[in-house]
Structure 1
């Protein structure tokens, strides 16, 4: 037995993409988005186990495919940060294998294409689920070059054209019939939106045949044009606004790359010169001070217990041309949200944030390591500047009081002392690049639970602000922030993980008495887990 797909799952059917009702995967987009949407709409995040599939009214083959997709997407999310190309290739192979399996079951069962979605018995429900899966998986697999998937998509067209509203599929049919080079996948290409190209080309051919109006610009073409305009505007901002020459030249380094050659944050060559050429010889923007009243309102709403700290940090920015925070140390008991406050402060001010965990660090690699070592690298602030392509960044020195104190390989705090001195930072000699760099646009915020163990020289260099325990008055704001973090971690929209309702808020208030944000996070995660466990299964 198996249950019919719900309305959300049917909304993901390939017919909507072929008619142009749903947006096809776009250039540089995620080609497997339709499969991810189908998985979420069909089962959410709780796909039944194979041994319990029948109890939920599901066919074990269908459940097996969905469970495989869930595991594949989870593995992709875990691995993409390490090696994007390998993660994408692995996921593409898994999607193609899932399509091949479902398509094989359809052939074995000799099921006909029926798009009426009006079924009554168990066998028809199984067929409906298999066709839904095959169509969506075919679209994803075709986008990454799986030829059997493209053949499957093209084979659907005669039946779709025969429907009452078959005219909706004419553009796709004509576009897919045109075997031109740019409709084919080539090794090394990403998701180029080939279905979108087919739809546009089919529409253009119809217009040419009828001498109609030109086809409107495609969505991904418009997006590319907007990105180009944004890049041009960003370049204009650097020319007219505050900027800083961080790295004058890389001509003294081995290699052939020219200063300014390449894209910051993109792939780099194997030499230090090619790695740092994108930022060399260029004036990088300094982030302008935003509307401080709006920034204060945002931070106070999220951190109502820290109004005095917000005012103390934002006050010195008044009248400045660009954001430059004096070195600041946030002291407070464990779990008071010091790290999150630091990160949000940087985001609200428009700074790219790098969180450097100091706990257990027993060397001075933060300040950079010599190229004489095989693992040599530039200092952490300079790496943050290159990633952001901006001279203004925020480095959060998390748990500074827990840094190691042995001096065998240098001491972290000694390096921090040098970098947080404004005059020294203006001409900091990076050991990897073997030249002076200007790090005066970098802001530093450190967090610690106690002053014990901190170098007195460091305490004299940093402005010390104390954060107290969280109070019940901040519960609504903290809860909203935690839900936002969980949604960001899981890649969910507000609609899939809404904030707490009044009953849930009462439960949180009854079990959290203030103090630690960490304990509140555990309560919220338990609440979300309870939602998943009690969710209605279709």
Structure 2
């Protein structure tokens, strides 16, 4: 036997189910799930073959059982969609036959125990593992011999050093008086689940209400349910917006709202957008503006006036919705970084749309009649964030194309930043109205040159000057934080600059450009690495 084949199989052993570490079949579930998991853990999706098993010295009896089980599960998967009851009936007979054969091998091995080698003992141990999992599945199906085998195995486990962890299952099995009335097609009985719950209650009563240890999977499921409930409560109590009302007019099979958020969306427009249809999406509440301003000013001390101008319109609002804003400043002043941090501090999901070189109007969406059809960029950002209020950063908007052959980016931006148009924007891909009124836009440009006058009249224009020495400490710390994230390092391994290093950076940073400062910080980190090697 090769140990690598058994490592995954042992993770599916009966002991893990009896101790509560693994989730047994539930009432109404697939009763043979543990056996299917065991087969997959040992051989993956391939059908075990006897020829290579003989070549490497595996026990052909064991491989034969796994081969029969794999073929049986594949046949069930093929037949169940047509006649689940008959398929389950056939599968239960096949698993029962395999269980009887494995038990026979165990009995035969017990007679030969005195003369067996270590390798044969490993084989016998795996027969016991396989018999236990098959017995659990058959017990879930109402198989009396399967239940008795589990009870017998429980006695062996209780005699071991860790027998106390099986106390719940042992007590529950001792009190198990339920009649076994499972019928193929009716789902599992949930026998082990019921036994564990019953044994837990008996232990609680005996210890005057002391709670039984909760399995990891149960704690995880309970935490997930609590998080979903809290999210639903926040949505119901906070501001929200219906972005996409219905998708019944779209081609495909999914109904409006049928698909779950985060799940598979399929390949049709209807299935793709079903998770958003008919749902009210949350709007980001306005945070403590004084704290947000202090946070941003600490990172961008040269832009205190700009930050104040951006945040001032949010005072008194129920949710975050910034008026269209254009940040002007020389290259390297950190315009894009300020825009991104602004969204993060305000609790908005940020989408950075690079405008340089864009020579069409695909920003506003393209029709499904084209193979490259897609929804508009703001609607895609809403779907990713599952929130109605997001921030779209139009980076380097002055460098967008101006030809009219395929439409202009600026024309689409003007349409989407008009509030009345955004409230009922007709998306060309979805071919229906969507509400994009909660989307915020911040654009960046180096100067006014080349910008459309209509854009300048629509956007608030705020100018950012070159960085001064006042920004050096915060910018260098922020750049180092980015480098830590890129390298996957903790602050202990890549700390912020000390006063001596900041003095060196200040002596060489003369143009006020964030880009040149990043180069200097990267050089500083490289120097640290070289010195660390020498030490």
Q: In the TM superposition, what are the counterparts of 1:279-428 in structure 2 within 5 Å?
A: 279-428=276-425
Structure 2: 5+ residue stretches without partners: 1-20, 23-124, 135-161, 172-202
Q: What TM-score results when the alignment is normalised by the length of structure 1?
A: 0.61
Residue matched to 2:459? 462
SS at match of 2:338: helix
Q: Distance in 2 between matches of 1:220 and 1:468?
A: 55
SS at match of 1:363: coil
- CA deviations on 1:183-241 (whole Å, 9 max, x unpaired) are xxxxxxxxxxxxxxxxxx99833776798987644667545533432222111122121
Residue matched to 2:110? none
SS at match of 1:279: coil
Residue matched to 1:244? 241
Q: Distance in 2 between matches of 1:220 and 1:504?
A: 49
Q: 2:231 aligns with which of 214, 230, 234?
A: 234
Q: In the TM superposition, what are the counterparts of 1:7-406 in structure 2 within 5 Å?
A: 204-205=165-166, 216-217=213-214, 222-406=219-403
SS at match of 1:253: coil
Q: Distance in 2 between matches of 1:202 and 1:259?
A: 52
For the pair shown, which has the larger CA radius of gyration, 1 or 2?
2
Deviation at 1:501, TM superposition (A): 2.1
Q: Distance in 2 between matches of 1:394 and 1:466?
A: 20
Q: Distance in 1 between matches of 2:373 and 2:490?
A: 41
Q: Distance in 2 between matches of 1:252 and 1:470?
A: 53
Q: What TM-score results when the alignment is normalised by the length of structure 2?
A: 0.61
Q: Distance in 2 between matches of 1:364 and 1:270?
A: 24
- Of 508-517 and 445-454, deviating more is 508-517
Q: Distance in 2 between matches of 1:374 and 1:202?
A: 63
Q: Distance in 2 between matches of 1:491 and 1:267?
A: 30
Structure 1: 5+ residue stretches without partners: 1-25, 28-173, 183-200
Q: 2:504 aligns with which of 492, 504, 507?
A: 507
Asked if the contact 1:204–1:214 (Cα under 8 Å) also holds between the matched residues in 2, the reply is: no
SS at match of 1:535: helix
> Residue 524 in 1 paired to residue 490 in 2?
no
Asked if the contact 1:265–1:387 (Cα under 8 Å) also holds between the matched residues in 2, the reply is: no
Asked if the contact 1:269–1:275 (Cα under 8 Å) also holds between the matched residues in 2, the reply is: yes
SS at match of 1:353: strand
Residue matched to 1:493? 490
Count of aligned positions: 348
- Of 236-245 and 303-312, deviating more is 236-245
